[in-house]
């Protein structure tokens, strides 16, 4: 008897092809649309109904069962509130990482297994093998960075078939199969609000923020910000500080509502040779001191050679090269060749 797999179908081409591939491989496939967000925002209509219909259309084309799981309440609590609280605290959290940890590979997995599934599958460009998380074959699309907080147990119940393919091959397969989503554009922006930028989203959630001073490396007032929580380390654009050399954000004081900038690209506050991490998560085994690893400090950032150590109870990543604009709240993810070891949140 073939294994029963519930595929998270978002209405996009990647998850559509995921369902088609698993069907070809002989699995008993059910498509599931996760309704995580439906709220409209100023100037933006949430496309969830269109995405739901696209996913359903593909399920009908493939001849598979299809259902919807409504996770909107849990999503708000576990992902959106986490993200908003992070920005309010002055850090830059990653909601996509939390979505994978809390919703796709916990809530969706648990609900699907309780519903009779043996496995779940997603349209991620990564690979799940024997409880290990591996990078996707397509280095340009690899999404393993977003998945580093998934557990070994969840990976043993998860399939990611398009991780074995490059993106053009996925598009070509969708066209070959005549799938309704073959030409649909990839969604951009925050995972739950599509084309709405983070600033617009935070304004809708929190309202206008108090203005405050922008101070340069010499302690001089050079401008006024419209809310310290909107600014992130290394940011250059949107500062409204005119004239001369470009300014870069190097720090914030949330209590005093101050944003600090510099025109000096060699400013020590812009560069790091060490990372202190908290909220550590290791998928299989923790990393060993004295072993060479690579670390990625943001999605699609270059991998940097590193080693690790524990110093005064603090987990530290030692970088071979200086890395620019490390931002508290972001994740640093360790790799051992193409295997994701795990990682933590930068402090």
CATH number of the domain within which 243 lies:
2.30.30.280
Determine how many CB atoms are found less than 10 A away from the CB of residue 291. 11
**226 and 315, same structural domain?**
no
Query: Tokens in use for 89?
Result: 């605290």
Contact 340, 148 (CB under 8 A): yes
DSSP secondary structure string, 216-229? -TTS-EEEEES-GG
Whether residues 22 and 167 share a domain: the answer is: yes
Question: Closest Cα to residue 249, out of 267, 268, 231, 265?
Answer: 231
**Residue 99 annotated in active site:** yes
Domain assignment present for 183: no
Residue 141 sits in the same domain as residue 252: no
Q: Helix or strand or coil: residue 105? A: helix
How many angstroms separate the Cα of 315 from the Cα of each of 277, 288, 296, 308, 327? 6, 11, 16, 7, 17
Q: Evaluate whether residue 196 is within a structural domain.
A: no
Same domain, 16 and 141: yes
Whether 219 is covered by a domain: the verdict is yes
Q: Compute the residue count for the chain.
A: 347
User: What is the distance between the alpha carbons of residues 305 and 293, in angstroms, rounded to a whole number?
Assistant: 6
Nearest-angstrom CA–CA distance, 29 and 343 = 32
Query: Is 278 within the bounds of a domain?
Result: yes
Question: 189 lies in a domain?
Answer: no
Q: Could you tell me if residue 184 is inside a domain?
A: no
Q: What pTM does this model have?
A: 0.95
Check: CB of residue 120 under 8 Å from CB of residue 27.
no
DSSP assigned state of 190: S
Domain boundary among 176, 191, 224: 176
Cα–Cα distance between 146 and 82 in angstroms, integer?
Answer: 16
- Using left for φ > 0, alpha for ψ between -120 and 50, and beta otherwise, residue 312 falls in left
Q: Whose CA is closest to 199, among 190, 212, 191?
A: 190
Domain boundary among 135, 152, 176: 176
Q: Tell me, yes or no, whether 167 and 34 share the same domain.
A: yes
Nearest to 98 by CA among 45, 66, 146: 146
Number of domains within the chain: 3
pLDDT of residue 324: 94
> Are residues 228 and 279 located together in one domain of the fold?
no
Helices assigned H by DSSP within the chain: 13-24, 48-62, 72-75, 81-88, 95-99, 108-114, 152-155, 167-176, 198-206
From first to last of its 347 residues, what are the pLDDT tens digits of the chain?
A: 899 999 999 999 999 999 999 999 999 999 999 999 998 887 788 889 999 999 999 999 999 999 999 999 999 999 999 999 999 999 999 999 999 999 999 999 999 999 999 999 999 999 999 999 999 999 999 999 999 999 999 999 999 999 999 999 999 999 999 999 999 998 765 655 556 788 889 999 999 999 999 999 999 999 999 999 999 999 998 888 877 899 999 999 999 999 999 999 999 999 999 999 999 999 999 999 999 999 999 999 999 999 999 999 999 999 999 999 999 999 999 999 999 999 999 99
Give the max Cα distance, the chain: 72
For residue 257, the enclosing domain spans: 209-262
Q: What residues form DSSP beta bridges with 182?
A: none
Judge contact between 306 and 319, C-beta under 8 A: yes
Which member of 29, 191, 193, 317 is catalytic?
A: 191
Query: Which pLDDT score is estimated for 46?
Result: 87
Closest CA to 9 of 135, 266, 137, 181: 181
Task: Give a yes or no: residue 190 inside a domain.
Answer: no
Catalytic position from the list 99, 270, 304, 345:
99
Question: In this structure, what CATH number is given to the domain that contains residue 304?
Answer: 2.40.30.10
306 is catalytic: no
Spell out the long-range contacts of 286-292 with Cβ–Cβ below 8 A and sequence spacing 24 or more: 286/341, 286/342, 287/334, 287/336, 287/341, 287/342, 291/336
Lay out the sheet containing 158-159: strands in order across.
65-70, 28-35, 4-8, 119-121, 158-159
The CA distance from 291 to 215, in Å, is: 41
């Amino acid at each position: 008897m073939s294994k029963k797999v519930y595929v998270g179908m978002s209405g996009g081409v990647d998850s559509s092809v995921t369902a088609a591939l698993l069907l070809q491989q002989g699995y008993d496939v059910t498509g599931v649309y996760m309704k995580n967000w439906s709220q409209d925002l100023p100037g933006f209509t949430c496309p969830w109904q269109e995405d739901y219909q696209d996913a359903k259309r593909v399920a009908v084309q493939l001849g598979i069962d299809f259902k919807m799981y409504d996770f909107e309440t849990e999503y708000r609590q576990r992902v959106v509130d986490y993200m908003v609280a992070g920005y309010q605290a002055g850090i830059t959290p990653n909601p996509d990482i939390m979505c994978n940890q809390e919703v796709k590979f916990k809530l969706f997995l648990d609900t699907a297994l309780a519903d009779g599934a043996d496995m779940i599958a997603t349209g991620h460009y990564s690979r799940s093998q024997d409880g290990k998380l591996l990078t996707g074959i397509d280095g340009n699309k690899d999404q393993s960075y977003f998945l580093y907080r998934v557990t070994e147990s969840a990976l043993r119940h998860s399939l990611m078939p398009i991780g074995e393919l490059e993106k053009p091959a996925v598009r070509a397969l969708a066209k070959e199969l005549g799938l309704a989503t073959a030409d649909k554009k990839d969604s951009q922006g925050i995972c739950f609000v599509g084309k709405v930028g983070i600033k617009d989203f935070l304004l809708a959630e929190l309202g206008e923020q108090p203005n405050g001073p922008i101070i340069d490396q010499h302690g001089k007032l050079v401008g006024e910000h419209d809310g310290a929580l909107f600014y992130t380390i290394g940011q250059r654009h949107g500062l409204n500080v005119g004239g001369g050399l470009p300014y870069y954000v190097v720090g914030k004081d949330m209590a005093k509502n101050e944003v600090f900038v510099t025109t000096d690209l060699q400013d020590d506050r812009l560069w790091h040779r060490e990372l202190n991490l908290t909220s550590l998560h290791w998928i299989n085994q923790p990393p060993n001191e004295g072993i060479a690893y690579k670390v990625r400090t943001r999605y699609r950032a270059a991998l940097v050679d590193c080693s690790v150590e524990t110093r005064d109870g603090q987990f530290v990543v030692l970088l071979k090269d200086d890395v620019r604009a490390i931002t508290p709240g972001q994740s640093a993810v360790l790799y051992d060749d193409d295997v994701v070891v795990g990682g933590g949140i930068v402090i």
